[in-house]
Structures are given as C-alpha cells and as structure tokens.
Amino acid sequence: MSIILLIEQILNGLQFGVMLFLMAAGLTLIFGVMGLINLAHGSLYMIGAFAAAAGAAATGSFVLGLIAALTSAALFGALIELTVIRRLYARDHLDQVLATFALILIFSEATRWVFGSFPLFLDTPAFLSGTVTLPGGILYSKYRLAIILIGLAVAVGLFLLISKTRVGMRIRAGENDREMIGALGVDISVLYTMVFALGAALAGLSGALVGAIQSVEVGMGEPVLILAFVVIVIGGIGSIKGALAGAILVGLTDTLGRTLLPVLFASFMDPSAATTVGSALASMLIYILMAGVLLFKPTGLFGSA
C-alpha cells in the first residue's frame, strides 16, 4: 500500500470521526448534564437530513438547506424536550430508553408519512463538488475536506462555549451538581431545554452534512446512533473532550481496519478468503477497541469515576 493511499485513508478516517463527533457531542452533553439516555438522537439526525434535502430542493441552495436542518432539528429537539423528555429526568434509565425508543418509531413513521418511502435527493453544493489536490499529489474530495474543517470548527466552538461562557459555566455546574445549581437560582428547566436543543442541532447538522454524500432515507439515524454510543463509551460518558478523542479513534480504527486488515491477511492467506476474514474482523474492530479501552479504563478515556 502506497504512502499516498495511506494518507488518503487517514483523512477518510478523520472525516468519519469528525462526523461521529457531531453526533456523539450532543449525546454525551445530554447525558452529562441531564443524565438522560436519548435513543431518539438518531431521529434528530434523520430530521436534519430530511430538512436539508427538502430545504435545498425548495430553494436550490445547499447553505439554506443546512440552515433549515439546524433550525428544524433544534426546534424538534426543544419540542420533544418540553413535551416528553423532561418527564423522564427523574425516571430510571430503563424508562428513558423505552420512551425515547418510542420516539424513534414515531419520528420514522411520521417522516415516511410526510416524505414517502423513497429516499430523497440531496447533492453536494457546486462549490464543494469534485476534488482538490493536496500537497504530495493527493486527490481528495473537497466536500469531505469541508466536513473535516466544519467538524473541527464545531469542536473548537463547543470547547469555547463550555469553558469560556456563562452558559458553559452553568452546563458544567449542571453536570457536577444538578440540585445545587437549581438552588442557586439558575432556571434549570430553561438550561435543560437549551442543552437538548443544542445537542439536537448538532445531530441535525451531522445528518445534513452526511446526507449530501449518502442516502437520505427513513431509518438512516439508527446505525450512526449505535456508533455514537460506542464513541461516548470509549471517550467517557459526559465528556466533550472524550467524545472528540473517541470519535477520531473510532473513525480511524474503522477506516484503517477496513483497508489494512484484508491486505494483512492476504500476506499469508488465499486472497478471496483473506477478503472475507479481513472484512469480517474489520467490522468487529471498533467493538474490540471499546472492550479494550473499558478493560483498562472502565469509565472511558476521559470519564470521571
């Protein structure tokens, strides 16, 4: 395998990781602050993608589609927080899982009802389509490069929001001691709605960005949701830093595993069998990674005990 191909695969892994980070950040934030397991996070991702596709189709502009995705995911996030989710904070995790699973089914069938069963069309914007030549002669998709940059910008923005602003201070306080910050006069329910809407908007952004290079269809959120859970377990539940580290780690492991393992096996096996064994092992790799991390750090890389 040439060095150029390897660098390209590392970029691919990074892009996949950054996309996972956008999903995992919201999930871990919501769990960290409200102690809520939100299975409907994947539905917010789907809503983002559908809103982007519908918005872009109606206006002809990808950027307007992105804005539609962000606002509608945030709005739906706030809506379900106000109507359903806030009744669940005091309940145990099993009730939360059950109720948010019901939300998945409701959102999926409602989306099918509005948009039909067929996948929607969403294309990359003209100014980001095609490839760009990176130093060293690497041809790389402009759009994927943009996803990496947007994801890293969001990571920096989230970091600043949480460490430098008053809202961020309250979020951190909420993570540490929920009752105390309520007692100190912070309107905890508004804070919760805001955090939930922020997490939802990030999921919506992720869905919209990915929707342009994947299939916008009902049920697209659930496979990503599972990966996002793996990410936050590896990174440490509740930690944004952990979500970033976990996401990049999962992205790189998955992408490099998929390409390197079959090559590795082919060095001592029949190529056709090596492909089968290598691909089978590659699909398990991130779970093996998760098990390995948990073995040595049971609370995840950046988790607090």
Partner 1 sequence: MRRSNWEIMMTMKFTALAAAALAMTFGNAALADAHSGKVKIGLITTLTGGGAALGVDTRDGFMLAIDQAANDAVEVVVEDDQRKPDVAVQVADKMIQSDKVDILTGIVWSNLALAVAPAANAQGKFYISTNAAPAQLAGKGCNKDYFAVSYQNDNMHEAAGAHATASGYTNAFILAPNYPAGQDSLTGFKRLYEGELAGELYTKLGQTDYAAEIAQIRASGADSIFFFLPGGMGISFLKQYADSGIELPVIGPSFSFDQGILQAVGDAALGIHNTSQWNKDIDNPTNKAFVETFQEAYDRLPTLYAAQAFDTANLILAAAGQADIADRDAFRAALKAADFNSVRGKFRFGNNQHPIQDIYVREVIKEGDVYTNKIISTILTDHQDVYAADCGLSD
Query: Which residues contribute to the site for partner 1 (CB under 8 A)?
Result: 1-2, 4-5, 8-9, 12-13, 15-16, 108-109, 112, 117-121, 123-124, 129-131, 139, 141, 143-144, 210, 212-220, 223, 255, 258-259, 262, 271-272, 275-276, 279-280, 282-283
What residues pair up with 131 in beta bridges, in sequence order? 141
How distant, in Å, are the alpha carbons of 115, 158, 164, 173, 184 from that of 188?
Answer: 36, 20, 19, 11, 10
For the record, the structure tokens of 45 come out as: 């991702």
State in angstroms the smallest separation of the CB of 115 from partner 1: 11
Q: Of the two residues 36 and 54, which places its CB atom closer to partner 1 in the complex?
A: 54
Contact 53, 211 (CB under 8 A): yes
Burial of residue 150 (CB within 10 Å: 0-12, 13-18, 19+) is middle
- CB neighbour burial string for 96-105, b if at least 16 within 10 angstroms, e if fewer: beebbeebbe
In the complex with partner 1, the residue whose CB is nearer, 161 or 260, is 260
* Of residues 75 and 134, the one with the C-beta less far from partner 1: 134
Least distance from partner 1 to the Cβ atom of residue 76, Å: 20
Q: Which runs of consecutive H residues, i.e. helices, occur in the chain? A: 3-34, 41-59, 62-83, 93-115, 142-164, 166-176, 178-183, 188-211, 221-235, 240-266, 271-296
Residue 210 CB, shortest distance to partner 1, in Å, is 8
If the CB atoms of residues 23 and 29 are measured against partner 1, the closer one turns out to be: 23
Which C-beta is closer to partner 1: that of 15 or that of 38?
A: 15
CB of 298 to partner 1, least distance (A): 28
Q: Provide the minimum distance between the beta carbon of 138 and partner 1 in the complex, in angstroms, as a whole number.
A: 10
